[in-house]
Structure 1
Amino acid sequence: FKVEFHGTNNRSYILGAESQESMEQWMKALACAGYDYMKLMVAELQRQLDDIEETPLPLPLAQGVNSPVPPPRTRHNPFNKPDNNPHQRSHSMRSTSSNSSRLEDTRLVENNASAKVSITFRELHNSYGRPILKDFNFWKHEQREKVDNSTDNLITF
């Protein structure tokens, strides 16, 4: 019979037995050897863990002078800087009045960011959300008008 260990650089072993019963005994011995080895390894690891837990940690090492210091909590967010590249912004081209109001809102937020004034998420959400809601409501109104106009004439020639 053949015993294979799959993987790179692993060997295969071909064993011979004189009878089926002898082969079965070898297979049982191999299976038990794996289980016994596992029990032996678990017992050894448990002994090492017990040794580590019993050993008290010296105070100078626990409160070491040269222990690592955590990094400062302040982080730089690159998205806080105003970006003056006009190609990276998307604006609706529906009407010039909404575009100008949206640009004013954007400039207001950029001025606040450049002046290092903190703005809450709610204020930021509202400043960007109002023009979006305005555009969405305008679009929805146009869709309703299209549906209303299409139902007036059932047949067109």
Structure 2
Amino acid sequence: MKINEKTLVSYACNKLPPDMEGWLWKRGEVNKGFQKRWCMLRGNLLFYSEKKGDKEPIGVIILEGCTVELAEEETEHYAFKLVFHTEGRTGRTYILGASSQPDLEKWMKLLACASYDFMKLMVVELQHQITEIESGGSSKAEGSGVGGEPRPPPRTRHNPFNTGKEKHKYTWLDWHTGYGERILQDREEWLEQRRRTEQERSHQIEMSGDNLLIVL
């Protein structure tokens, strides 16, 4: 795969906020020791630098064709690993360590759904659900006999997993509204977190003797 280095650096250093960023301990197959790296997740690319605020990253991991697994054998950090698979065989493996259990869970969840393959599966699943919803609505209209000869009701098979409760039929509007509300809620939380971060950076509080100095 050919990668344009300038485009990659420009994408890593743009002003848009990353999907997630923070310190991680990284260990590859060449260097067996853990090294502290500032990591930024943008889409399906995991950039890492020696220090926070570096102009250019020192490396990038393309999150395609890999699985995110818990590294239970590691005891030094809250560790997980990125295991790449090529032609059915296990390829390169990266060991990454977080500083706490909550950070470990956040990183693993985001990295697991960052790949293009995962997004493609999600789109296929949503298309399948939409098709089922639309086909359910059309079958009701055809069975009503409006504008034609009455038709017998379709034969149904017993579902062994049916609990006896009536299953709610969701329309396309229900799906659109539900996902839209979740997206708006996540966006408001992100904006609020960004405002707090900007306020913390723009206000510095210092103590000088008995006087409290606030520098804007």
- Considering the TM-score relative to the shorter chain, is it more than 0.5? no
Greater length-normalized contact order (CA 8 Å, ≥ 6 residues apart)? 2
TM-score w.r.t. length of structure 2? 0.22
Q: Which has the higher strand share?
A: 2
TM-score w.r.t. length of structure 1? 0.29
Pick the structure with greater CA Rg. 1
Q: Which has the higher helix share?
A: 1
